[in-house]
Amino acid sequence: MRVGILESTAEEPHSKLFRYLITTAVFAVLVTLGIWYLTRFHHEKATVKKFLDGLVAGQTEQSYSIWKASPTYSYKDFLDDWGADGYYGPVKSYRITDAQGAKGDTSVVIIAEISPFHPFPEENDSVKQSKTKEVRIWVERRDQSLSFPP
């Protein structure tokens, strides 16, 4: 008996079960990989959020302690960068836009946009958007210390 291309014979229940098991396993692996991909930099983003929240609240001492600065980066240097009159200041709102693994997976670069306006300016507000700055913050995974990327 010959079976044509569009004709089929009845499929055995055993092969249906095997096909459903394989499909379910592949789906579970894809969901797991998707969740891992979306949360892989969660701790580093949380550290940067805590740091920037401190700056927004005006708690520069708390943010400086989160920065875990080296002995050569004094509190005055920190204020020159992040204080109300600093290069990046005043920070009134922010938005984390991206996170990228760097330096052999021992650190992460978090990219944030910071603004001197609260709330964060809308995309169509070109005057306020022109004051928004992009900052890259280097986060060491081992101790969650912050610095500027080299």
Rg for the chain, CA atoms, rounded: 25
| Lowest-pLDDT range of 6-10, 14-18, 53-57 | 6-10
Backbone φ/ψ region at 49: left (φ over 0), alpha (ψ -120 to 50), beta = alpha
pLDDT band at 11 (very low <50, low <70, confident <90, very high): low
Torsion 107-111-115-121 (CA) sign: negative
Give Cα separations from 117 to 9, 51, 144, 145 (angstroms). 69, 18, 28, 27
pLDDT for 106: 87
pLDDT for 9: 62
Whether residue 91 has pLDDT greater than 90: yes
pLDDT for 49: 97
pLDDT band at 12 (very low <50, low <70, confident <90, very high): low
Question: Over the stretch 42-83, which tens digit does the pLDDT of each residue have?
Answer: 999 999 999 999 999 999 999 999 998 888 999 999 999 999
pTM value? Answer: 0.79
Question: Over the stretch 115-137, which tens digit does the pLDDT of each residue have?
Answer: 999 999 888 888 888 899 999 99
Q: Tell me what the mean pLDDT of segment 4-17 comes to.
A: 68
pLDDT for 3: 59
pLDDT for 17: 86
pLDDT for 129: 87
